[in-house]
Amino acid sequence: MTSRIIGLDQRYAASASLVRHGVEIIAVRDELGARFDSATRGLFRLIQRDGPGVWDHLAGAAKALRWRLITDPMPIERNAQLTAAAGEVGRQALRLIGAVNEDVLLREIADAAAALCARDPLVGAVLLESLAEVGVDSAIVVAASSRSRETLGEWLGSLGVRVLTLGDLELADVSEDIAYFVGPPRFFKPTAVTAPRTLEVTFILPAWFGDRNVPRSAIAQYAEGGIQVAARIVEVGDAWPASLEPGMSETESIPEEDLLPQPVWGSRVSEDRAPNADEVEARKILLSGNRAIWLDDDGERIRALDPTQPPGERVGYSEVPAVAPGTYLLLREGEAERESLHARAFTRIGPRASAIQESQASWKSALIDRLGARGIRDSERALRALGVRAAGQVRAWASPHVIRPQSDGDFERLLGWLGLPVQPYFGHASLLRHEVHRATRELRDRLEAAADVADLHELDRVGHMTLDIAEPGFRGMFVTRVLAIAPFTELVARHDARVPFADEGAQWLE
Amino acid sequence: MSEAGSRSGPNVLLSLAENPDSEPVQSAWIGPILALGTRLARRADDFSGRQLIIAISVPSREYAAALVGTGWTLGRAPVQTTIDPLTVLRGALPRAHYRAVNATHVISGPFQGLDETRPPARVTLAGHWAVDRMEGVAPVAEGDPAEKMPRPTIGSIGRLTGVDRDWVRRLVAPAADLAIVGTKSWISDDLEAVLARGDDPDGDALATLLLPRTEKSATWFSRIYSSSGFADQLPLPDDVSLTILDGQGAIRYLNDVLSPIVVCVFDRSVADESAAEQVMQLRNSRGEPIALSTQLGWAPPAGVEALGFTVAL
Query: Which ipTM value was assigned to this complex?
Result: 0.93
Are A226 and B305 a contacting pair at CB < 8 A? yes
The more confident residue out of B34 and A248 is B34
Q: Hey, where are the domains in chain B?
A: 3-76+174-312, 85-150
Question: Chain A partners of B21 at a C-beta cutoff of 8 Å?
Answer: none
Question: Chain B partners of A313 at a C-beta cutoff of 8 Å?
Answer: 183-185, 226-228
HEC states along A241-299? CHHHCCCCHHHHCCCHHHHCCCCCCCCCCCCCCCCCCCEEEEEEEEECCCEEEEEECCC
Are B228 and A314 a contacting pair at CB < 8 A? yes
pLDDT of B4? 42
Q: State the pLDDT confidence band at A394, using cuts at 50, 70 and 90.
A: confident
Q: What is the pLDDT of residues A201-218, one digit of tens each?
A: 999 999 999 889 998 888
The more confident residue out of A347 and B244 is B244
Q: What is the pLDDT of residues A361-385, one digit of tens each?
A: 999 999 999 988 888 888 888 998 8
pLDDT of A251? 47
Are A390 and B280 a contacting pair at CB < 8 A? no
Are A189 and B252 a contacting pair at CB < 8 A? no
- Does domain A4-29+122-240 sit in CATH 3.40.50? yes
Are A319 and B274 a contacting pair at CB < 8 A? yes
Q: Is the pLDDT reported for residue A242 higher than 80?
A: no
pLDDT of A66? 92
Q: Is the pLDDT reported for residue B232 higher than 90?
A: no
Q: How many CA atoms lie within 13 A of B99 on its CB side?
A: 29
Residue A360 CB neighbours (<10 A): 17
Q: What is the pLDDT of residues A65-113, one digit of tens each?
A: 999 999 999 999 999 989 999 999 999 999 988 788 888 999 999 999 9
Whether B173 and B90 have beta carbons less than 8 Å apart is answered as no
Q: Is the pLDDT reported for residue B167 higher than 80?
A: yes
Are A195 and B268 a contacting pair at CB < 8 A? yes
Question: Chain A partners of B49 at a C-beta cutoff of 8 Å?
Answer: none
How would you class B175 by CB atoms within 10 Å of its CB: exposed for 0-12, middle for 13-18, buried for 19 or more?
Answer: buried
Q: What is the largest CA-CA distance in chain B?
A: 68
Q: Which of A6, A196, A312 sits opposite B185 (nearest CB)?
A: A312
Tally DSSP H helices, then E strands, for chain A.
17, 14
Q: What is the secondary structure of chain B as a DSSP string?
A: --HHHHHT-TTPPEEEESSTTS--EE-TTHHHHHHHHHHHHHHGGGGTTEEEEEEEEESS-TTHHHHHHHHHHHHSPPP-S---HHHHHHTPPTT-EEEEE-SSEEEEEEEEEEE-SSSSPEEEESSEEEGGG-SEEEE-SS--S-SEEEPP---HHHHHHSGGGGHHHHHHS----EEEEE-HHHHHHHHT-EEEETT-SS-EEHHHHH-B--TT-SS-SEEEEEGGGGGGGPSPPTT--EEEEESHHHHTTGGG--SSEEEEEEETTS---HHHHHHHHHHHHH-EEE-IIIII---PPTT-EEEEEEEE-
pLDDT of A496? 86
Are B273 and A440 a contacting pair at CB < 8 A? no
Percent of chain A with pLDDT strictly greater than 70? 93
Interface with chain A: mutation pick from B53, B269, B292, highest number of A CBs within 10 Å: B269
Q: Is the pLDDT reported for residue A121 higher than 90?
A: yes
Q: How far is A489 from chain B (nearest CA, A)?
A: 19
Q: Is the pLDDT reported for residue A252 higher than 60?
A: no
Instruction: Round the average pLDDT of chain A to a whole number and report it.
Output: 86
pLDDT of A248? 45
Q: How far is A18 from chain B (nearest CA, A)?
A: 9
pLDDT of A448? 86
Range with the lowest mean pLDDT among A282-286, B218-222, B271-275? B271-275
Interface with chain B: mutation pick from A1, A2, A9, highest number of B CBs within 10 Å: A9
Q: Hey, where are the domains in chain A?
A: 4-29+122-240, 31-118, 279-338+449-509, 343-435
pLDDT of B9? 46
pLDDT of A241? 58
Q: How far is B111 from chain A (nearest CA, A)?
A: 32
Q: Collapsing DSSP states into helix, strand and coil, what is residue A384? A: helix
**Domain B3-76+174-312 is of which CATH architecture?**
3-Layer(aba) Sandwich (3.40)
Distance CA B250, CA B226 (A): 8
Range with the lowest mean pLDDT among A275-279, B187-191, B282-286? A275-279
Instruction: Pick the residue from chain B with its C-alpha nearest to A308.
Output: B270
pTM of the model: 0.84
Percent of chain B with pLDDT strictly greater than 70? 96
Q: From the centroid of its chain, how far is CA A386? A: 40
Segment B163-178 shows an average pLDDT of 96
Are B18 and A301 a contacting pair at CB < 8 A? no
Question: What separation in angstroms does the CA of B170 have from each of A162, A299, B92, B240?
Answer: 52, 41, 20, 17
- In this structure, which CATH number among 1.10.3470, 3.30.1360, 2.30.30, 2.70.98 belongs to the domain B85-150? 2.30.30
Task: Kindly report the length of chain A.
Answer: 510
Are A390 and B232 a contacting pair at CB < 8 A? no
Q: What is the pLDDT of residues A162-194, one digit of tens each?
A: 999 998 898 899 999 999 999 999 999 899 999
pLDDT of A164? 94
> Would you tell me the crossing angle of helices A103-115 and A56-71 to the nearest 10 degrees?
30
Q: State the pLDDT confidence band at B11, using cuts at 50, 70 and 90.
A: low
Segment A38-45 shows an average pLDDT of 90
Q: What is the pLDDT of residues A304-362, one digit of tens each?
A: 998 888 888 888 888 888 888 889 999 887 777 777 788 888 888 888 888 998 999 99
Q: Is the pLDDT reported for residue B184 higher than 60?
A: yes
Q: How far is B110 from chain A (nearest CA, A)?
A: 29
Percent of chain A with pLDDT strictly greater than 90? 43
Quick one: CA dihedral A235, A239, A245, A246, positive or negative?
A: negative
Are A444 and B229 a contacting pair at CB < 8 A? yes
Are B60 and A11 a contacting pair at CB < 8 A? yes
pLDDT of A52? 67
Residues 6+ apart with CB under 8 A from B94: B110, B111, B112, B113
Residue B71 CB neighbours (<10 A): 27
Q: Which of A219, A310, A440 sits opposite B55 (nearest CB)?
A: A219
Q: What is the pLDDT of residues A440-470, one digit of tens each?
A: 888 888 888 888 888 777 787 788 888 877 7
pLDDT of A408? 87
Let me know if the fold of B3-76+174-312 is the same as that of B85-150: no
Question: Chain A partners of B186 at a C-beta cutoff of 8 Å?
Answer: 310
Distance CA B13, CA B257 (A): 34
Percent of chain B with pLDDT strictly greater than 90? 80
Q: How far is A317 from chain B (nearest CA, A)?
A: 7
Are A11 and B303 a contacting pair at CB < 8 A? yes
Q: State the pLDDT confidence band at A249, using cuts at 50, 70 and 90.
A: very low
pLDDT of A1? 52
